[in-house]
């Protein structure tokens, strides 16, 4: 059982006392074998007397009602004077804490009961009232069994369903709430309009004369209104446009049909069990017959040399950028920012330097090469490019997202590490972002929001996609079974931030009412899941695997059409890591579904564990035959993907 | 009409006030302060003494006497002492096939030790960190090193992490540039940067001379530092960033391939340093200085330079001079008080020192850093800075120029202004008294003269 510490903050802070703290996390095996080290340093300004600090670590059980029921596990305390600043460790002392504080902490750290609660309190003795409380709660401290029990109890608790309303009531409610301001203004506007219409010609000329008599005032009024409007437009944050993007289309010579894949696997791997395992995975993976692996992986056994890896990188990245330059007419000299992300292959000089070398970019280009950031790194690059474009006016940013498969072939027999072999396929995307106003005319999308969530503080989430060596020394990426659950949790955190930014008023109001109702009226009401279909028209969910897409479809209550792009991308191109989101977007465009004003939500998941999402707003309707990786096969899609394709 | 008049005046006043307010706010938040930095000091059992080095070389059965001669020459000329640190896997004899754990352990030790100390010294909680950047050039595990830090220190969910890899020895200013750009979009932000290099997976065991050179120079080291743009922390800050210039001449093929990781003829991966490296370095350096000079030099010096340049063009002096030579005629000491040079090697330091017209006193920190810590890649700048601080050279209002070179080929520089008198010992605490030593010669030649004579 692992315990991790997350959340927390300062409360009730008094001026002369300064509390500095941080946690140092050790591996925790059981609640009793806990090793938690806290460093607390108290600093007092000279002449301010003494201070004391107490550290209290408690286990709050799941049936928590009142803190007085719980036993204190560990308590440390110490004090210091202004002459001797102190570092606190292991001194026992009792601490009683009233329950109102605990409830407050629980509420503010958004943690449920059944967690560890660590309370650090310091008191400044000359001012008895001044105290600082820091709470840190750990999550997932429950062993699996009790978690299941909890789940069952939750399902029993969810006996009270939300009331169902007829369709017309829903529409009426949404119309009224979402257009509240407009409806509110309609009344006064019509009144004013009516008054103006009723004015006779004499009254109008009289008004005009009175204005003419005071030309300076009226001019300055017009001027000041214009000035304020101009100021508003200038001071708005610079919009970031996605001018266009291009995805790499792997050559058909790199194709890996299931039969080829299995035959190669049998030849490479002598262990019958792992071959069978890989067959089972491939049957259920949802991958089609046209996914591609780099040339080096077609050798038996694969030869993952650095040269071959560079060759793959050059093939996928340069093809994508060439395509993008052809589409947009971008000249290499016009690139101001270059961001490249590739998780598992980081040569020196970096891939960004490789691009600079190939296209002869300017010497003052700002290049960044992100590595090891997993499948969700594509949106991290977008986030970074956005930040850079906010700072540098009139700039073009070239973002390249890819994953190089060659060096990451796993040759061992550990099942969790064999999974990536079956799922990951080659792919790359090059995206041109710009903040030049004149690009607004031809740009495809405008970036509305990027929200990043990093669940790395939780051990289970951190370990669920993990590079390591097996017993025989073969290095590979191990995927844990908890992945789906963790992806769901990460998505939940991401949505918590994203929701208020994008959801229409009607959904937010319902959510708030439901929350208040559950707190005040009936705690057994089912929590309201906001309808994200109200906020977005298209969804690009990272094609990590069939189970991930299933999980998201369920938790976001999406229809089959909403996840079609993800499923079909997985079928046609496999898991192309960070670039998969762009293949999906291209699928939607190729199907002719992207209209002006549509909002697209891209959600990426990746090792760390991270969940990043971006919202794009479509600026122009994109007509159907779109030049891209789907050109020659879009007519065949969507295809039916059976649960198991027997090999 | 009076009403109209009042309203328009009020509107105008309000908008003017808002412009003023925004501008002052922008100015206040524009700065990038260095709160503190902690250089990594590995444990003493990781020191690579002369005997240990000879053991490591002897273990490699592929080497022959000419290779020994080459290595001896390289080590003797390298300017590094017996005090430098290597990764544990190499000391324990696993340089040929380091495990993933070896590599992770080496970086972990560096990151955790420096960060522990950094958080303690600054009194900042990891929960308050908004941006986290790690740059380790030649090792990029998944989950990234940033995720390792987030996991260990339980950072917030919305922390912005960036793991930069493959950016070479000059990645430190790149990380600062990244943070500085984010600072301009967000107020009151706290950033932590870890800069280090992983040696364990990159030890070269083959016989290609251009790749063996790296083994003689690169050593373990790292640094963590904390940056902020919060004006309320200014009084605690050590330095503030004045300007940052990045130059990347990767467009040139020779420059791109002069420092590159590749396989030798036998398929062993190594870091190839070619003969055209000095040329590339000079070009990148000149490119950088051209853009840096107008930002750091006083107007008088610039005018003098312009006059000289004009005269040069008018008289058409016969002798063809390189860009670096023209740049060198500018007296950089008029705008900069201290120079943090990248400790790429003794020759690099001397060449840069000459090009900038520096005295022995100015290049001393870089030479001593090379002697004590070796080439610690991206973090070397911070050891040099640490030396200056330990020697109590950094006084208030002094200006410090950091200059680094790296694969790509890049030359990045940044100028800092010291905000208060600094006299922290840091990683140099226990050995600063011994520096500068009488002689920088290492005992290799003395002990292995037989190789030369063989």
CB-based contacts of A530: which residues, under 8 Å, 6+ apart?
A499, A503, A507, A508, A510, A511
- Considering only CB atoms, B4 lies closest to which of A8, A218, A459, namely A218
pLDDT at A446: 95
Is the confidence at residue A117, as pLDDT, over 70? no
- Asked if A370 has any chain B CB less than 8 Å from its own CB, the reply is yes
- Asked if A136 has any chain B CB less than 8 Å from its own CB, the reply is yes
- Considering only CB atoms, A25 lies closest to which of B18, B147, B154, namely B154
pLDDT at B438: 87
Residue with the larger pLDDT of the pair B210 and A23 = B210
- Asked if A497 has any chain B CB less than 8 Å from its own CB, the reply is yes
Chain B residue with the nearest C-alpha to that of A607: B143
Is the confidence at residue A360, as pLDDT, over 90? yes
What integer is the mean pLDDT of B211-238? 92
Chain A residue with the nearest C-alpha to that of B186: A387
What integer is the mean pLDDT of A203-228? 82
What is the C-alpha to C-alpha distance for residues A138 and A141, in angstroms, rounded to an integer?
7
What integer is the mean pLDDT of A464-477? 90
Round the CA-based radius of gyration of chain B to a whole number and report it. 24
Is the confidence at residue A349, as pLDDT, over 60? yes
Chain B residue with the nearest C-alpha to that of A218: B4
Chain A residues with beta carbon closer than 8 angstroms to that of B15: 224, 227-228, 231
- Considering only CB atoms, A607 lies closest to which of B143, B287, B409, namely B143
Instruction: Read off the pLDDT of residues B432-449 as tens digits, 9 standing for 90 and up.
Output: 999 999 888 888 888 888
Element (H, E) at A468: strand A465-469
What is the C-alpha to C-alpha distance for residues B255 and A2, in angstroms, rounded to an integer?
49
Is the confidence at residue A251, as pLDDT, over 50? yes
Q: Which of A212, A368, A467, A468 should we substitute to test contact with B (largest number of B Cβ atoms within 10 Å)? A: A368
Which band of pLDDT confidence, cut at 50, 70 and 90, is reported for residue A520?
confident
Residues of B marked as catalytic = 169, 248, 338, 342, 371, 375
In the structure encoding, which two tokens stand for residue A403, read together?
């994953």
User: Contact B150/A457, CB-based, under 8 Å?
Assistant: yes
User: Contact B100/A21, CB-based, under 8 Å?
Assistant: no
pLDDT at B2: 72
- Considering only CB atoms, A307 lies closest to which of B120, B248, B263, namely B263
Is the confidence at residue B123, as pLDDT, over 90? no
pLDDT at A429: 96
Which band of pLDDT confidence, cut at 50, 70 and 90, is reported for residue A102?
very low
User: Contact A363/B101, CB-based, under 8 Å?
Assistant: no
Chain A residues with beta carbon closer than 8 angstroms to that of B159: 454
Chain A residue with the nearest C-alpha to that of B284: A363
User: Contact A368/B162, CB-based, under 8 Å?
Assistant: yes
Please state the φ and ψ torsions of residue A538, each to the nearest 5 degrees. -130, 150
**What is the average pLDDT value for chain A, to the nearest integer?**
77
What is the C-alpha to C-alpha distance for residues B432 and B454, in angstroms, rounded to an integer?
38
pLDDT at A40: 39
What letter does residue A526 receive in the DSSP assignment?
Answer: P
Interface of A with B in 268-297 (CB under 8 A): none
Which band of pLDDT confidence, cut at 50, 70 and 90, is reported for residue A644?
confident
Is the confidence at residue A113, as pLDDT, over 80? no
Strand partners, B241: B416
DSSP string, B225-257: EEEE--GGGGGG-SEEEEEEEEEE-TTSHHHHH
**Helices vs strands, H then E, count in chain A:** 18, 19
Assess contact for B11 and A224: CB atoms under 8 A.
Answer: yes
pLDDT at B18: 83
Chain B residues with beta carbon closer than 8 angstroms to that of A223: 8
Long-range interactions of A46-50: CB distance < 8 A, separation 24+: A46/A82, A47/A82, A48/A16, A48/A17, A48/A82, A48/A126, A49/A81, A49/A82, A49/A124, A49/A125, A49/A126, A50/A79, A50/A80, A50/A81, A50/A82, A50/A124, A50/A125, A50/A126
Is the confidence at residue B259, as pLDDT, over 70? yes
Instruction: Read off the pLDDT of residues B339-352 as tens digits, 9 standing for 90 and up.
Output: 999 998 888 898 88
Residues of A marked as catalytic = 375, 454, 538, 542, 571, 575
Instruction: Read off the pLDDT of residues B345-389 as tens digits, 9 standing for 90 and up.
Output: 888 898 889 888 899 999 999 999 999 999 999 999 999 999 999
Is the confidence at residue B320, as pLDDT, over 80? no
Chain B residue with the nearest C-alpha to that of A237: B185
User: Contact A221/B116, CB-based, under 8 Å?
Assistant: no
Chain A residues with beta carbon closer than 8 angstroms to that of B164: 368-371
What integer is the mean pLDDT of A326-342? 95
User: Contact B143/A462, CB-based, under 8 Å?
Assistant: yes
What is the C-alpha to C-alpha distance for residues B30 and B231, in angstroms, rounded to an integer?
9
What is the C-alpha to C-alpha distance for residues B391 and B381, in angstroms, rounded to an integer?
15
Which band of pLDDT confidence, cut at 50, 70 and 90, is reported for residue B329?
low
Residue with the larger pLDDT of the pair A633 and A201 = A633
- Asked if A22 has any chain B CB less than 8 Å from its own CB, the reply is yes
pTM of the model: 0.83
**Which of A54-68, A260-274, B384-398, B428-442 bottoms out in mean pLDDT, i.e. has the lowest?**
A54-68
**Which of A76-80, A188-192, B318-322 bottoms out in mean pLDDT, i.e. has the lowest?**
A76-80
Element (H, E) at B73: helix B65-78
What is the C-alpha to C-alpha distance for residues A632 and A313, in angstroms, rounded to an integer?
24
What integer is the mean pLDDT of A422-447? 94
- Asked if A25 has any chain B CB less than 8 Å from its own CB, the reply is yes
CA distance B142 to chain A (A): 5
Assess: ipTM above 0.90. yes
Interface of A with B in 570-609 (CB under 8 A): 607-609
pLDDT at B448: 85
- Asked if A180 has any chain B CB less than 8 Å from its own CB, the reply is no
Q: What angle do CA A264, A268, A274 make, to 5 degrees?
A: 95
User: Contact B158/A306, CB-based, under 8 Å?
Assistant: no
pLDDT at B1: 58
Share of chain A above pLDDT 90, in %: 45
- Asked if A481 has any chain B CB less than 8 Å from its own CB, the reply is no
Other CB atoms within 10 Å distance of the CB of residue B351 = 18
CA distance A310 to chain B (A): 9
- Considering only CB atoms, A356 lies closest to which of B14, B151, B251, namely B251
Other CB atoms within 10 Å distance of the CB of residue A10 = 13
CA distance B453 to chain A (A): 37
Chain A residues with beta carbon closer than 8 angstroms to that of B162: 368, 370, 373, 380, 384
User: Contact A350/B167, CB-based, under 8 Å?
Assistant: yes
pLDDT at A335: 96
């Amino acid at each position: 059982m692992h315990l991790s510490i997350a959340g927390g903050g300062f409360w009730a802070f008094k001026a002369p006392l300064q509390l500095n703290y941080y946690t140092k996390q050790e591996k925790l095996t059981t609640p009793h074998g806990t090793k938690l080290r806290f460093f607390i340093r108290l600093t007092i300004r000279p002449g301010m007397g003494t201070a004391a600090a107490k550290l209290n670590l408690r286990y709050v059980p799941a049936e928590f009602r009142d803190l007085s029921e719980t036993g204190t596990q560990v308590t440390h305390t110490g004090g210091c004077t202004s002459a001797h600043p102190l570092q606190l460790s292991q001194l026992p002392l009792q601490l009683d804490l009233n329950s109102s504080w605990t409830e407050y902490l629980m509420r503010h750290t958004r943690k449920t009961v059944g967690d560890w609660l660590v309370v650090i309190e310091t008191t400044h003795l000359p001012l008895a009232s001044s105290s600082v409380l820091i709470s840190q709660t750990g999550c997932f401290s429950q062993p699996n069994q009790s978690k299941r029990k909890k789940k069952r109890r939750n399902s029993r608790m969810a006996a009270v369903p939300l009331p169902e309303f007829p369709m017309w009531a829903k529409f009426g409610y949404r119309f009224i709430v979402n257009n509240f301001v407009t409806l509110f203004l309609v009344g006064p506007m019509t009144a004013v309009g009516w008054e103006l219409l009723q004015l006779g010609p004499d009254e109008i000329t009289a008004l005009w004369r009175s204005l003419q008599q005071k030309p300076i005032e009226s001019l300055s009024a017009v001027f000041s209104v214009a000035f304020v409007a101009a100021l508003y437009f200038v001071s708005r944050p610079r919009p970031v446009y996605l001018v266009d993007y291009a995805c790499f289309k792997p050559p058909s010579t790199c194709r890996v049909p299931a039969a080829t894949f299995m035959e190669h696997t049998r030849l490479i791997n002598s262990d019958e069990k792992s071959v069978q395992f890989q067959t089972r995975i491939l049957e259920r993976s949802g991958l089609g017959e046209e996914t591609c692996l780099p040339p080096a992986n077609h050798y038996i056994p694969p030869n993952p040399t650095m040269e071959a890896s560079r060759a793959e990188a050059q093939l996928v990245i340069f093809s994508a950028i060439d395509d993008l330059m052809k589409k947009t007419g971008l000249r290499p000299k016009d690139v101001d920012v270059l961001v490249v992300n590739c998780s598992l292959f980081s040569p020196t000089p970096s891939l960004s330097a490789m691009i600079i070398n190939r296209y002869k970019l300017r010497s003052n280009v700002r290049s960044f090469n992100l590595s090891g950031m997993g499948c969700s790194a594509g949106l991290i690059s977008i986030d970074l490019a956005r930040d850079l474009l906010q700072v540098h006016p009139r700039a073009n940013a070239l973002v390249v997202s890819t994953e190089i498969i060659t060096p990451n072939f796993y040759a061992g027999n550990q099942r969790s590490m064999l999974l990536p072999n079956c799922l990951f396929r080659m792919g790359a995307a090059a995206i041109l972002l710009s903040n030049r106003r004149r690009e607004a005319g031809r740009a495809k999308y405008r970036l509305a929001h990027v929200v990043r969530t990093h669940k790395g503080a939780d051990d289970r989430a951190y370990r669920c996609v993990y590079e390591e060596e097996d017993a025989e020394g073969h290095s590979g990426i191990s995927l844990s079974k908890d992945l789906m659950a963790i992806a769901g949790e990460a998505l939940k955190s991401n949505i918590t931030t994203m929701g208020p930014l994008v959801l229409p008023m009607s959904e937010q109001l319902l959510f708030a009412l439901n929350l208040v109702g559950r707190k005040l009226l009936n705690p057994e009401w089912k929590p309201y899941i906001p309808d994200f279909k109200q906020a977005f028209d298209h969804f690009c969910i990272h094609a990590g695997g069939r189970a991930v897409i299933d999980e998201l479809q369920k938790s976001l209550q999406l229809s089959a059409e909403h996840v079609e792009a993800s499923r079909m991308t997985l079928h046609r191109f496999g898991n192309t890591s960070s670039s998969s989101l762009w293949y999906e977007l291209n699928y939607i465009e190729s199907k002719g579904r992207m209209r002006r004003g549509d909002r697209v939500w891209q959600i990426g998941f990746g090792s760390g564990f991270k969940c990043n999402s971006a919202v794009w707003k479509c600026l122009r309707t994109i007509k159907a035959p779109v030049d891209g990786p789907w050109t020659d096969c879009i007519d065949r899609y969507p295809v039916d993907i059976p649960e198991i394709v027997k090999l | 009409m009076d009403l109209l008049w009042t309203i328009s005046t009020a509107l105008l006043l309000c908008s003017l006030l808002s412009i003023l307010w925004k501008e002052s706010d922008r100015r206040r938040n524009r700065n990038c302060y260095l709160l503190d930095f902690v250089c990594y000091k590995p444990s003493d059992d990781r020191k690579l003494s002369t005997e240990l080095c000879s053991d490591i070389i002897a273990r490699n059965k592929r080497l022959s006497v000419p290779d020994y001669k080459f290595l001896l020459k390289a080590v003797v000329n390298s300017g590094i002492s017996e005090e430098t640190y290597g990764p544990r896997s190499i000391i324990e004899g696993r340089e040929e096939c380091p495990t993933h754990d070896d590599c992770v352990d080496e970086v972990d030790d560096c990151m955790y030790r420096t960060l522990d100390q950094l958080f303690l010294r600054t009194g900042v909680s990891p929960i308050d960190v908004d941006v986290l950047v790690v740059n380790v050039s030649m090792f990029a595990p998944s989950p990234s090193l940033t995720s390792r830090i987030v996991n260990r220190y339980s950072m917030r969910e919305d922390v912005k992490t960036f793991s930069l890899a493959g950016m070479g020895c000059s990645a430190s200013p790149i990380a600062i540039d990244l943070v500085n750009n984010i600072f301009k979009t967000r107020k009151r932000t706290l950033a932590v940067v870890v800069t280090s290099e992983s040696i364990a997976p990159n030890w070269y065991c083959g016989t290609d001379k251009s790749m063996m050179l790296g083994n003689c120079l690169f050593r373990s080291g790292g640094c963590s530092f904390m940056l902020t743009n919060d004006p309320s922390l200014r009084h605690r800050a050590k330095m503030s960033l004045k300007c940052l210039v990045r130059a990347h001449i990767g467009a040139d093929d020779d420059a791109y391939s002069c420092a590159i990781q590749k396989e030798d003829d036998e398929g062993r991966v190594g870091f190839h340093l070619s003969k055209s490296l000095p040329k590339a370095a000079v070009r990148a350096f000149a490119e950088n200085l051209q853009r840096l000079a107008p930002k750091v030099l006083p107007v008088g010096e610039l005018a003098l330079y312009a006059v000289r340049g004009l005269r040069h063009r008018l008289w058409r002096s016969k002798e063809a001079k390189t860009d670096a030579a023209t740049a060198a005629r500018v007296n950089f000491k008029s705008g900069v008080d201290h120079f943090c040079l990248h400790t790429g090697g003794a020759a690099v330091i001397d060449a840069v020192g000459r090009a900038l017209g520096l005295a022995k006193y100015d290049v001393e920190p870089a030479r001593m850093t090379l002697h004590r810590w070796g080439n610690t890649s991206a973090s070397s700048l911070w050891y040099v800075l640490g030396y200056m601080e330990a020697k109590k050279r950094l006084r208030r209002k002094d200006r410090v120029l950091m200059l680094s070179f790296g694969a790509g080929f890049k030359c990045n520089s940044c100028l800092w202004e010291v905000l208060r008198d600094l006299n922290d010992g840091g990683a140099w605490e226990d050995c600063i008294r011994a520096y500068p030593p009488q002689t920088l010669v290492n005992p290799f030649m003395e002990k292995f003269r037989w190789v030369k004579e063989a």
